[in-house]
Each structure stands twice: as structure tokens, then as C-alpha cells.
Amino acid sequence: MGKLSKNQQKREIMAVDVKQAKQSTLEDLSFQFNINRTKEASKSTKAIVINRIAATTKEDELALKIEFTLLPSKASFSKINLDLYFQEQLLNSTSLIIPQSQLINNDFEYPQVLEMKGIVAGEYLIRVEMYEPWPSGEKLNFTAKEITVQYVPQTREERLVKIPTVKSVAGTDLTVVSSTAKNIYREIEQDQKQESMSRRDEW
């Protein structure tokens, strides 16, 4: 086999260089794509789902119950904020500490009662916003839900107001809605009552 001319040698060297450059580029792209894909896969999907806002009209009061679910589980959250709006005006903002007890599932409810004295009869928009607070002020995993409430006052007030006040706030602890947990707590209360009654009988 004859020796290659200088021009042929140059062409072969250039072809090898081009092939290696293409391969290096493809490997870099593949590596970067795999890194991005790994990052995306590693991000757990977190969400706050407001299932229902229940409203019950009492005498000069509007009782609200916000029911929500934390996904993928309550363990993914430590604290969330709940903002309550009435006719687009912020009434109350509450920070809720998420309990991590094994007796509790991922469903929660949070009650609030509005003082409606002086509010005229009519339809009113109630909106609940929930999110994870961030030091930068960003609202992570933000979600919102609205309902329209038909309010009819039970008593007539001389002094009318446009915006109600929050009569009671449940605090930062959430109400457990897990049926299992409710039954356990109910049994504990019954046992305590029975023990108390037995002690009284013994006296």
C-alpha cells in the first residue's frame, strides 16, 4: 500500500478532528440533558389543594370551614399561610403549623368565624389563598379558591358596615379530619371520663 500524499494526510487528519469534535459535542449535550432531566426528576411535586370552603350562616355570623389536602404528603410541609378575603379585601392572614403526627393523614380543615353585624343582605365573594411563605416574599405552591355566599342578617342593625371582622381565629393548630384520628381521640376522651366517674364512685 503506497504512502499517502501530504494533501491526503491533511484531509484524513481534518476528518478525524471533525469527527472527534462532533462526538465531543454530542456527549456534552447528552451529559447536560441527563443532568437537567435528573434535576427535574428529583424535584418532588408539592401542592396545596383546597377541596372545599363550607359556609354556614348563623345569627350575625358567617362560619367558614376550609378543607384542604397537602400533596404528596403533610411531611413535605412545615408551615403554610392562609389568607382570607371578603369582597377582594384581606380580612386575615394566618400562619398554620403542619402537625406531623402519624395519627393524622394529609387532609385538614381550618375554621374561621366572621362577625357580620351591620352587613346588609346580599351576595358576597369569599376567597381563600394558601401558599408556602418564603423569606424572599415569594409565595410557593400558591393556590386559591372562591365561593359566593348569600347572606341574610337575622337582626336589623342601625349601624351598617361594608366589611366584617374575624370574630375568632382557630390559631396556628389545624383541626384533624382523619376519621381514624378522630375515633382515637374520642376513645381517649371517653376513657378519661369513665376513669373520672369511677374515681368519684369510689369516693
Strands 122-133 and 79-86, by their bridges, are antiparallel
Instruction: Report yes or no on 16 lying in a domain.
Output: no
C-alpha cell at 33: 440533558
- Is the pTM for the entire model greater than 0.75? no
Domain containing 98: what range? 47-191
C-alpha cell at 52: 372545599
Instruction: Report yes or no on 21 lying in a domain.
Output: no
Instruction: Report yes or no on 187 lying in a domain.
Output: yes
The most confident of 2-6, 8-12, 163-167, by mean pLDDT? 163-167
pLDDT confidence band for 31 (50 / 70 / 90): very low
Q: What is the mean pLDDT of residues 30-58?
A: 69
CB of 59 within 8 A of CB of 154?
A: yes
CATH number at residue 137: 2.60.40.10
Q: What is the pLDDT of residue 131?
A: 97
Residue 69 CA: distances (Å) to CA of 76, 104, 133, 145:
12, 12, 17, 13
Instruction: Report yes or no on 22 lying in a domain.
Output: no
Instruction: Report yes or no on 23 lying in a domain.
Output: no
More confident residue, 155 or 176: 155
Instruction: Report yes or no on 131 lying in a domain.
Output: yes
Instruction: Report yes or no on 160 lying in a domain.
Output: yes
Strands 122-133 and 175-176, by their bridges, are unpaired
Q: What is the pLDDT of residue 171?
A: 54
| Number of domain units in the chain | 1
Rounded Cα–Cα distance for residues 73 and 100 (Å):
10
Q: What is the pLDDT of residue 135?
A: 87
At residue 180, does pLDDT exceed 60?
no
Instruction: Report yes or no on 102 lying in a domain.
Output: yes
CB of 89 within 8 A of CB of 59?
A: no
DSSP string, the chain: -PPPPHHHHHHHHHHHHHHHHHHHHHHHHHHHHHHHHHHHHHS---EEEEEEEEEEEETTEEEEEEEEEEES-GGG-SEEEEEEEETTEEEEEEEEE----TT--SEEEEEEEEE-TTPPSEEEEEEEEEEEE-TTS-EEEEEEEEEEEEE--SS--SS--SS-EEEEE--SSPEE--HHHHHHHHHHHHHHHHHHHHHHHH-
C-alpha cell at 49: 389543594
CB of 63 within 8 A of CB of 84?
A: no
